Amino acid sequence: MNEDMNVPTNHPSIALIGAGNLAVNLAPALSDSGFRIRQVYSRTQEAARSLARRVGAGYTTSPAEITPHADLYITALADSALPVLAPVIASVNPQALFVHTAGSIPMDIWKGHAARQGVLYPMQTFSKQREVDFGQIPIFVESNSPEDEALLRAVASRLSRQVYAATTEQRRSLHLAAVFACNFTNCLYTLASDILQAHHLPFDVMLPLIDETARKVHTLAPRQAQTGPAARGDRAVMAAHLEMLATHPGWQELYRTMSKMISDASQ
């Protein structure tokens, strides 16, 4: 027990609640940055065990067995699971700090359950099959006390060079923008891939274009970077494209919608 008491506040021991896409990226990043992860919780035994093993932690699949001996509890759960589990998790240690990692969930999900509340939102797309460099990820922190905000800033700063304070309201906007810039963009990649596949062309030829499209907005505002038939007002090409999409009314509708947005913005 003594060991717990002596842990410096800027180097808290951690319980990680979740073993999904974010957790499998966050746990090694925390561990590599010198944090001790005491325990990993997941309702799936295999996920809990394998992630715990990677970072030298214990694990459990039972919410009732979540350790009371951590200083900082970080949840990385599906947004629908968090409201159910938050009261259970927050009850295990009344002195500890409880933070979630979700863009769209308010900090006050902890209200009435934990005295020390916070959020640590790493804005990135995480997949289990792919390890990302946490050092490049913007992390947005929030807390209900200046001391804990400073603590979360200190923790986040060991993971990343880009750490910002953000309110619940700002984080919601960041997450919404991220859905457009990342999730919907990836959906467009999928459509492009389907179009190419239908014509026996490999998706790989699209990568230099995808890379340059992303690189371009590092130096030009997205509006200045816009090119293509809609930006040029090239009606003949757009009509031909719509005809090619005739067998996919959903894609055709999307083509119309986005071309109109580009055309309206280019005027």
84 binds a second copy (CB under 8 A): no
Binding residues for a second copy restricted to 90-129, rule: CB under 8 A: 104, 123-127, 129
Residue 88 or 265 with smaller CB distance to a second copy = 265
178 binds a second copy (CB under 8 A): yes
Left, alpha or beta for 117 (phi > 0: left; psi -120 to 50: alpha)? Answer: beta
For 61, other C-beta atoms within 10 Å of its C-beta total 16
Binding residues for a second copy restricted to 59-78, rule: CB under 8 A: 78
- 234: Cα separation from own chain's centroid: 37
Residue 88 or 182 with smaller CB distance to a second copy = 182
Which residue stretch of 9-17, 35-43, 51-59, 204-212 sits at the interface with a second copy (rule: CB under 8 A)? 204-212
Which residue stretch of 27-35, 40-48, 54-62, 231-239 sits at the interface with a second copy (rule: CB under 8 A)? 231-239
Residue 100 or 116 with smaller CB distance to a second copy = 100
- Cβ 5 to a second copy shortest distance, Å: 37
SS3 266: coil
C-alpha 136/C-alpha 116 separation (Å) is 28
Residue 21 or 91 with smaller CB distance to a second copy = 21
End-to-end CA separation in angstroms for the chain: 67
How far lies 58's CA from each of 38, 63, 73, in Å?
6, 14, 14
